[in-house]
Chains A and B, each alone.
Chain A
Amino acid sequence: MASLKELRARIGSVKSTKKITSAMKMVAAAKLRRAQTRAEAARPYATAMRRMLSELGRSAKGQSGLPALLAGTGNDKVHLLVPMTSDRGLAGAFNANINRVTRNLVRRLQAEGKTVRLLPVGRKGHDYLTREFADLIVDHVHGSGGKEIPFSAAAELGEAITSRLGKGEFDVCTVIYNRFNNVMSQTPTELQLIPLAMPENDDAAVPDAPVYEFEPGEEDLLSRLLPRNLQVQLYATMLESAAGEQGARMTAMDSATRNAGKAIDRLTLTYNRTRQTNITNELIEIISGAQAV
């Protein structure tokens, strides 16, 4: 049985842990709200981009010599995986999920005889994958460290990926990120970016939809729109991942706070019982001493 002094120290330490976890929960909640607002603000651009792409795709369909970003390299040998994790931990299974999905995907692709290359975004994924598949990592990008993500971060990553594609370093590019369902749940999702799955035209049902004019030509527009689209898609996944991180951390810290509360209750009970026992023992000693006289 622990002594009273030890118990007091334990209670004190759990109490301060509880304070920390509950503060982290508050911070995550505030950051989550901001991340969600940003993700929503970025949506109109992505929507408009989709609309333009589907329009262009319709009129460019069936043409030969389409850019590799859209049509792929014609091969399916080398896969570039881009797992998106956070820079910081203490977010429940947020990063572990991505790492697990990435590991399984790498194993599956390797079993199929494909070459896999990795370009992890965020420190947690990089740390894990360096231990597991150090020789597959071609490069890595730091996450935002929990700060706001500027579009330029996505633009740089997009350019890096495009230039690797230009050098023929890979055939297929897939991003693995946490899709934000709601605060409580994020689903690890694989999203293939290259070759691009052409968005279905939303108003294809309209029979006499007006025919677009393009200036300059379709090919020029397409060759500009596609790299930009890649960046926008990356940006969207980064924002979702950032919102998911805060959501996951909030949930994790909420349950940590609750667990700390329970631990304090249990320890306090033990403490009081021990104190009571000590008093009873002392009384017994005094009384039996008095009777002996």
Chain B
Amino acid sequence: MPIEVEIVSPEKVLFSRAVDMAVMPGLEGDIAAMPDHAPMMLLLRGGVVELYQDGAVTDRFFVAGGFADLTATRCTILADQATVLSDLSVDAAQARLAALEASYEAADKMNVPALDLLMEKMQSARAEIEAAGGPAA
């Protein structure tokens, strides 16, 4: 029995199909969506969503954080930004990471929520570099 997976960015639906399993990067560890999973909502970190069909990966998407809504029959991934893995660019991600690191250095060290947010964006940028095939940070 397959599960309906939808990957949605604020601008459009990127992927909508029934697959056997979807593995997504949860904030507290990777989670696989399979049929009859207990309903849950989770936060996503930056990472790769892998879609499995007949035991093999058919599609990979990079998501830069977001939310996921899992039910027994459906899995909706609300990505802040989603890209097909082959469209990623190491250079662009590295440039972004450098900019983030600079703003982290410049940021007010007492403003913890803002620092956390920057940290998370940096983590997402590192994951993007890795996913695009660049050197792991």
Contact = CB atoms under 8 A, between A and B. Distances in A.
Interface string A34-46: 0000100110110
B10 A231 contact: yes
Contacts of A138: none
Given A44-B6, A48-B76, A151-B10, A210 B43 contact: no
Contacts of B13: 41, 44-45
A148 B43 CA distance: 29
B78 A213 contact: no
B10 A42 contact: yes
A221 B28 CA distance: 13
A42 B40 contact: no
B41 interface: yes
Contacts of B43: 215-216, 220-221, 224
Nearest to A231: B10
A52 B10 contact: no
Interface residues of B, number: 24
A49 interface: yes
Interface stretch (B65-73, B100-108, B121-129): B65-73
Contacts, number: 76
Contacts of B39: 210-213
A232 B8 CA distance: 12
Contacts of A210: 38-39, 71-72
Query: Interface majority SS on B: helix, strand, loop or mixed?
Result: strand
Contact of A235 (B10, B26, B38, B78): B10
Interface string A250-268: 0000000000000000000
Most buried by B among A44, A210, A214, A225: A44
B39 to A, nearest CB: 4
A52 B27 contact: no
A142 interface: no
Given A210-B72, A215-B28, A216-B28, A232 B10 contact: yes
Contacts of A15: none
A153 to B, nearest CB: 11
14 contacts: A41-B11, A42-B11, A42-B12, A44-B6, A44-B8, A45-B11, A48-B69, A55-B41, A151-B10, A210-B72, A214-B40, A216-B28, A220-B43, A221-B43
Interface of A: 38, 41-42, 44-45, 48-49, 51-52, 55-56, 150-151, 154, 210-216, 220-221, 224-225, 228, 231-232, 235
